[in-house]
Structure 1
Amino acid sequence: MANIVLARIDERLIHGQIRLQWGKHSGANTILVANDEIAQMEALQAPFKASAGSDFSVLFRTIDQAITNLPKAGPDRKILVLCKNPTDFARIVVGGVELPEINIGNMHFHEGRTAVNKYINVDKEDMRAFEVLSENGSVCTLQHMPESSKECIFEATKNLVI
């Protein structure tokens, strides 16, 4: 089984907060960006690699490649898995990769999304994905920074009309 030290949803993917806060806090030495679009377009990868600096190995995989390759990773790889949305993580978990906890970072406002807090906006598709994750044993918690308190997505959204 892969040594996944953090699974995080962040639409921005790799940026300073990931490198300086979450990467260091988690002890990761590898960042795996699981995203179909970016994995297939090398031109989109360069800015993310630059943002990670030399502190991390940075890998870009499609969701299917992540499902196939994560279980093969050696224990020396301490992996921070980044996805842009909960649907991609739901695909990974349904594909057989165990993720006991998924950290929900930044999900920007888009048409049709409802604000949960300053950083998290969700729609019905997102909430269905969180249900799938929960059904497959993943706890999904909102946590902006490592020192911030955690809150279950279902607790945070229980009074919202989505």
Structure 2
Amino acid sequence: MAKIVLTRVDSRLIHGQVVTKWLQQSGADEIFVVSDELEKDEFLQSIYVMAAPPGVEVKIYGIESAQKYWTEDAVNSNAKVLFLVPDLPTLKAMVNAGVIENDIQIGGLGGGAERKNVLKNINLSENDVSVLNDFLAKNLNVFFQAIPEDNPMPIEKLIEKYNSL
């Protein structure tokens, strides 16, 4: 059975930091990306696949096909997986499907309308805070950590900051 060694929320998905630091630190030999948008865009998929180092397989699925993969095909794999999603609603679907049951690392959430900056790479919306509170209610360990050298920060601190803005 494929084993998820790191679950990371990062709006940039596969980028230098993920490739140079998190793959090595986690010991992953496969990157599994869940994004409905990316699943439909073969050109962008090819760019993300090229961004991975040699010997690291990249799999890209939408939410529905990712759920199917983890219930049917992951049992035939011995991969150590770095599980990447671009946003919290996507992750929530994976948690609700029972795919993600372990620690959740928040690495980067981009800005935009109705989003408040709570830390250097973290911008939260009201919906994000609701999703994070749902995770905490399920006793999932959710934390912010941009790079391996940083100490993990409990997500509760970022929720408090959001509520104070």
TM over 0.5: yes
**How many percent of aligned residue pairs carry the same amino acid?**
30
SS at match of 2:9: strand
CA distance in 1, matches of 2:92, 2:138: 9
How far off is 1:75 after superposition? 5.5
Contact 1:94–1:136, Cα closer than 8 Å, also in 2: no
Runs of 4+ in 1 over 4 A off after TM superposition: none
How far off is 1:117 after superposition? 0.6
Q: TM-score, normalised by structure 1?
A: 0.92
How far off is 1:136 after superposition? 3.3
The residue that corresponds to 1:32 in the other structure is 32
- Unaligned runs of at least 5 residues, structure 1: none
Q: CA RMSD in A?
A: 1.6
- Unaligned runs of at least 5 residues, structure 2: none
SS at match of 1:14: coil
CA distance in 2, matches of 1:55, 1:2: 16
How far off is 1:151 after superposition? 1.0
SS at match of 1:110: coil
Contact 2:19–2:52, Cα closer than 8 Å, also in 1: yes
Partner amino acid, structure 2, of 1:145: I
CA distance in 2, matches of 1:93, 1:42: 26
CA distance in 2, matches of 1:68, 1:137: 25
The residue that corresponds to 2:108 in the other structure is 106
SS at match of 1:79: strand
Contact 1:100–1:137, Cα closer than 8 Å, also in 2: no
Number of equivalences: 162
CA distance in 1, matches of 2:104, 2:43: 28
Q: TM-score, normalised by structure 2?
A: 0.91
Matches within 5 A, 1:87-98: 87-98=89-100
SS at match of 1:160: helix
